Structure 1
């Protein structure tokens, strides 16, 4: 099957191996090689499709991200363009890491922007939570052991992800490793720009307080990972896990199974409201978990 990428096509489904859509006449191949076969999802900035690379003998699967903003207003559209482009730039800057999707291509065709990246086969952690229920301590420790080194890697490359949450972590089917995806909100920082305010970006339930005010730090990603952990442990919205009247986390009240004091203290420090009281680096967090920090 081929799927037409023209957003206005009334009948996008086409037989396999055609080069042009039977309904609207649009090209079915991107860059004469990438063929969309089915839609995967749609968000505020664009649509994603499962595709095959017909330029290679094995025809490996990949993901097409098409820029197709739903928002209105010139400034909103400009910001959407910036974020879409930013994902391609960040993925290229980061280079290859086994737990970050590879960037395959970034280009414009028929006046639309496209980003091609490696397809990760697996369910995200929000889907996993819905399917299997709350995580236990061993699962959270394993998640941190597998994912904190990825944070360390991106931070060493001066990138703050800014949108860590269960939906942006996919557990790859082949090796069960968590893969960090969606770098559209990520930010490259220098020592000069780290303390300069910018745009507030991120998912409200998981975002660090300072990030809401437009100032993301490396410790902001650590906070969001901490929120992800207590969400997975409690199977509750992070909004329920924080007492706004007392300005403190109450996530322990929502656990079905208690966790060790050691892990509890680690999570508490990840979730500190004041950034300076959190772990400042992923290496510090690894040390607190009694795991060996990776060398730069």
Structure 2
């Protein structure tokens, strides 16, 4: 099917083998190669279509964004034009990153502006949250590692995205990577003072306080990413996870799964209301994330340095208790040695067997110390 790009066409659906709309006569191919198939979104400033590139044999999918402002007022429309043009410029530079859609074309046709960009086949995180439920700690850590590097790239190009939220993050089906989309609100800081007042843009639930006042900074994207994590962990609107009476986040009260205090501290610092109390760069967040230790099983505590080993080990007054202690300690030893017993008189000892025997000696020594402590108690 071909879909007519004329917003006033009464019957925009057409066969896929025609070049002009049967109803209104509008040219169906954009730049003689991109054919819209169906509309996939519409906002206050334009429409979005799923399309195909007919200039290539495989006819790969792509996305056509049409500038079609619905808002009234000269200033509003002018600002929308600036943002649309700006998105094309941003994508042209940022699209070289594998987790940002590439810009394929930017043109004007029939007095309307268009940009064509790479199609990301996948589901955004808002839909993923709805279909699969809330995220756990490991998923949030993976998300942060994945997206902070993308934001790091954007910020290195002096670009603030200004609209980070679950709807603008797509998990690509081909490699499971997260892709940041919709740079329509992105702002270039090149040649501008960061504290210069501009236009308040973004989704209110995820926007940093300073951005609401038109003073977006790089840390504003970090704030929005932190709020995104809170939404994915709780499954609730960020507004519901913030106590306005005490000016504090209370997201921990609504967690569906346990989150370590260490990760909680990182998220809390990402969403600090005062910009100076927040992470200033993505590098700072990544550094703290890398310092988080993964959860590990309980192991036998190492021998205390310089503590002499007791030679005379007192026995328990209760033989049954002593037998139970011996059984439990032997079970622990078996877990560490894999249940393998070394031969008493090996015919051809190797360096590996020597290492194993040494390890067993250390374990035996630590078990004897633990047996002594239990027997004394």
Q: TM-score range by the shorter chain?
A: over 0.9
* Cα distance in structure 2, aligned partners of 1:52 and 1:182: 19
Following superposition of structure 1 onto structure 2, how do residues 34-183 of structure 1 map, counting pairs within 5 Å? 34-183=34-183
After superposition, give the CA deviation of every residue in 1:71-110 in whole Å (9 maximum; x if it has no partner). Answer: 1111111111111111101111224010000000111000
In the alignment, what sits opposite 1:247? Answer: 247
State which structure, 1 or 2, has the greater radius of gyration over its C-alpha atoms.
Answer: 2
Instruction: Identify, as 1 or 2, the structure richer in helix.
Output: 2
Which has the higher mean CA deviation after the structures are superposed, 217-226 or 183-192?
183-192
Residue 191 of structure 1 and its aligned partner are, at CA, apart by: 6.4
- Measured in 1, the distance between the counterparts of 2:78 and 2:184 equals 14
In structure 2, distance between residues paired with 1:168 and 1:95: 15
3-state secondary structure, aligned to 1:202: coil
**Conservation of the 8 A alpha-carbon contact between 2:4 and 2:28:** yes
Aligned length, in residue pairs? 291
Q: Find the residue that maps to 1:239 and give its secondary structure.
A: helix
| 2:129 alignment partner, SS class | helix
Corresponding residue for 1:263? 263
Alpha-carbon distance in structure 1 between the residues aligned to 2:64 and 2:93 = 19
Residue 246 of structure 1 aligns to a residue whose secondary structure is coil
Alpha carbons 2:3, 2:36 under 8 Å: kept: yes
Q: Work out whether residues 125 and 170 of structure 2, in 8 Å CA contact, stay in contact via their aligned partners in 1.
A: yes
Q: Confirm whether residue 235 of structure 1 aligns to residue 235 of structure 2.
A: yes
Alignment of 1:11-50 (within 5 A): 11-50=11-50
Measured in 1, the distance between the counterparts of 2:192 and 2:66 equals 33
Instruction: Give 1:294's aligned residue.
Output: none
Asked if the contact 2:95–2:101 (Cα under 8 Å) also holds between the matched residues in 1, the reply is: no
Paired residue secondary structure (1:240) = helix
Alpha-carbon distance in 1 for matches of 2:94, 2:61: 22
Alpha-carbon separation, structure 2, partners of 1:95 and 1:182: 12
5+ unaligned residues in a row in structure 2: which ranges? 292-377
Q: Residue 51 of structure 2 aligns to a residue in which SS?
A: strand
Indicate the SS of the match to 1:44. coil
TM-score computed with the length of structure 2 as normaliser: 0.76
CA distance in 2, matches of 1:290, 1:28: 51
SS of the residue aligned with 1:116?
strand
User: Which structure has more strand as a fraction of its residues?
Assistant: 1
Look up the SS of the partner of 1:6 in the other structure.
coil
Q: Which runs of 4+ in 1 moved over 4 A?
A: none
> Is contact 2:40-2:50 (8 Å) kept?
yes
Alpha carbon RMSD of aligned pairs, Å? 1.0
Q: How much does 1:37 deviate?
A: 0.8
Q: Find the aligned partners of 1:193 and 1:17 in 2 and give their Cα distance.
A: 52
Distance 2:196 2:61 in 1: 40
Query: Bigger relative contact order, structure 1 or 2, given CA contacts below 8 A and separation 6+?
Result: 1
| Alpha-carbon separation, structure 2, partners of 1:174 and 1:49 | 21
Tell me how far 1:160 sits from its aligned partner: 0.4
Q: Once the 2 structures are TM-superposed, how far is the Cα of residue 53 of structure 1 from its aligned partner? A: 0.8
Once residues 190 and 13 of structure 1 are traced to their aligned partners in structure 2, the CA distance between those partners, rounded to angstroms, is: 43
1:192, 1:124 → 2: CA distance? 32
User: How far, CA to CA, are the matches of 2:63 and 2:19 in structure 1?
Assistant: 19
Could you report, residue by residue, the CA deviation over 1:204-242 in whole angstroms, capped at 9, with x for unpaired residues?
000000000110010000000000000000000000010
Summarize the Cα distance change of 1:67–1:192 in structure 2 as closer, same or farther, 3 Å threshold.
Answer: closer
What is the CA-CA distance between 1:131 and the residue it aligns to? Answer: 0.6
